[in-house]
Amino acid sequence: MADTTLEPDQGAEVSDAARDALGGLTRRLAEFAVSFRLEQAPEEVLGNARSAILDCIGVSVLAVPQEIGQALLSFARADGAEGPCTFWGTPITTSARDAALFNGTLAHGLDFDDRNHSSTYSLAAPLALAEQHGLSGAGVLEAFIVGREVRNSLDAIFVSRGSGIGPGAKGWHSNGILGPMASAAASARVLDLDADQTLAALGLAGGSCGALTRDGGTMAKPYRCGHAAATGVTCALLAKHGFSSDGTVLEGRFGLLEAVGPLPGSILEALATRLGLEFNLSSPLRGKRFASCTASHSGIEAMLRLGARDSVAPEDVAEIACDLKPYPLVRARPTRGVEGRFSLPFCLALALLNGDVTPHDFTDANVADPRVQRLIGATRHAPGSDRLTVTLRDGRKLEEPLKPPANLQGWEAFAGKFLGSVREVLGEAKGQSVVDLVAGLEEVPSIGELTRHLRTEA
């Protein structure tokens, strides 16, 4: 209706096409969540979903022994709720809401999850609810796809941030803005809520969002994914018990789109128009090779190629020049290991010194290493440059072009990453059991068959 839908004088120039696309937008998300079934998805969607699920669990378990995992574990032991749901990679069981919080946070704890990041809350929320209610692997897979597709049907809101358009350009981060709605949709799907209940859950989630790009390089960034997962669980459960909300939370006057606007009509026209007809998960999964912000990967790979080709001695380096991507790499001069994931100078120093960058390298000790500090101090920002340039003390300049970062591809690659990630915490046998179960997830009668392999001894 004209009095409830975003109008042109409300901060954005909205075309007739955009206004038509916005009509009933929130309900369209709800109806997709209710109606989607696995048989509607092409096989490549199911295959990519299984790979994303396996990768998400693996990087979560990898985070348990590290600083963020130990902080979560301490919190869970002191203040976590009792319940049947697994805190992955630990002996702790807790409530569905707390499991979603802990596992969603772990999943993004090392910034090692796939580049889309929506796997974190799209998995942690419905898997916890499925474990609580003894639901099937097929139900989790279905809900996971719903969560990812709902999130990505709205992603146009953030894709123009580099051009200064939309909330991303102002400092809002997509996981905290869109994550609660994706998680609510996934949770509603796994609980088999009807369309009106799902709409209520989305309405509750739409006003429960928030995250800042400034969070990058702190534990607050992965917390936003855990918060999104727990929020989605809470909103779906409230809706199941009769809680109501506004059914036009996205498109309505004073709704989310207006709050994060202004947004041009070209973006508004793109929102959820192909939801259920085309799948984001049809595209190859963009799995990470390094446990750091995606914006750092091209530089890391260039430094690794340059170092392997020219055998550069770190002590011979006078200067490193590269586009340091100050958005979103907001920690150019890190003081903590966790900040290093969002510092290209730190990542370049590690790559040059060690010939690799591993998930275990982001430590306070490495940040404090005098060799690392010298190289960080020798690194300068070269805005817009398409290459990495290393200048040696003798005046020679070594250059390497910056290329799009490489992605892991194929089930075997993700399975290998998973087994390497969980070996220390779960061991080989449990790890292989998880790989086998996820490979046939839609045939698993109860998700508890999977989660029991994700628990450790007390």
Q: Give the pLDDT confidence of 117-148 residue by residue, as tens digits.
A: 999 999 999 999 999 999 999 999 999 999 99
Output the domain CATH number for residue 203.
1.10.4100.10
Is 383 domain-assigned? yes
Total of domains in the chain: 2
- 3 pLDDT band, cuts 50/70/90, is very low
pLDDT over threshold 60, residue 244: yes
- 2 pLDDT band, cuts 50/70/90, is very low
Is 368 domain-assigned? yes
Domain identity same for 234 and 324: no
Is 35 domain-assigned? yes
The pLDDT value recorded for residue 447 is: 98
The pLDDT value recorded for residue 163 is: 82
Is 10 domain-assigned? no
Domain identity same for 270 and 304: no
Is 125 domain-assigned? yes
Domain identity same for 233 and 320: no
**Rounded to 5°, angle at Cα 129 from 124 and 140:** 65
The pLDDT value recorded for residue 8 is: 41
The pLDDT value recorded for residue 6 is: 60
pLDDT over threshold 60, residue 32: yes
Q: Please give the share of the chain, as a percent, with pLDDT higher than 90.
A: 91
pLDDT over threshold 80, residue 216: yes
pLDDT in tens, 288-326: 999 999 999 999 999 999 999 999 999 999 999 999 999
Is 412 domain-assigned? no
Computed on alpha carbons and rounded to an integer, the radius of gyration of the chain in Å comes to 22
Closest CA to 199 of 407, 448, 17, 25: 25
The whole domain housing 312 covers: 294-401
Domain identity same for 339 and 236: no
Q: Are 205 and 151 in contact (CB under 8 A)?
A: no
Domain identity same for 207 and 304: no
Domain identity same for 236 and 334: no
The pLDDT value recorded for residue 15 is: 61
Where is the domain boundary, 401, 420, 435? 401
- 14 pLDDT band, cuts 50/70/90, is low
What is the pLDDT averaged over residues 443-450?
A: 98
pLDDT in tens, 273-294: 999 999 999 999 999 999 999 9
Output the domain CATH number for residue 320.
3.30.1330.120
- 11 pLDDT band, cuts 50/70/90, is very low
The pLDDT value recorded for residue 9 is: 40
Domain identity same for 49 and 198: yes
Domain identity same for 114 and 197: yes
pLDDT over threshold 70, residue 434: yes
Domain identity same for 119 and 221: yes
pLDDT over threshold 80, residue 16: no
Domain identity same for 228 and 370: no
Distance CA 338, CA 303 (A): 21
Domain identity same for 378 and 318: yes
Is 66 domain-assigned? yes
Where is the domain boundary, 353, 373, 401? 401
pLDDT in tens, 149-164: 999 999 999 988 878 8
- 7 pLDDT band, cuts 50/70/90, is low
Is 447 domain-assigned? no
- 102 pLDDT band, cuts 50/70/90, is very high
Where is the domain boundary, 252, 282, 312? 282
Helices 370-377 and 344-354 sit at what angle, rounded to 10 degrees? 130
Domain identity same for 230 and 355: no
